[in-house]
Amino acid sequence: MADYSCEEVRRRLDAYVDGELSDEETRSVEEHLAACERCAEVLGFERALLDGLKKRIRETDLPPGLRERIGTALERDRAEKTDPTASRSDG
């Protein structure tokens, strides 16, 4: 298992919060966060920011269909991460 530096953990925090890290990366990040108060504070800030943004988005009137288009784009992005050829078109 890797011993991540603060810089390595902070580069991975977005992916960690989104659940996009491998099991090994997740364990390494969590071990670092348990021992590093500063990185844990940064994680707390990022989670609070994300939660605030989610709340504001839910409270905001969006143009018709925008929420669905964003959801579709996010699903497509996830599929591309799993299979990079999933969204390629010939043309």
pLDDT at 84: 61
By the 8 A CB rule, do 27 and 4 touch?
no
pLDDT at 90: 46
What is the tally of helices (H) and strands (E) in the chain? 4, 0
pLDDT at 35: 96
Give pLDDT < 70 ranges for the chain.
Answer: 1, 84-91
Q: Kindly report the pTM of this predicted structure.
A: 0.62
**Residue 20: partners with Cβ closer than 8 Å, 6 or more residues away:** 81
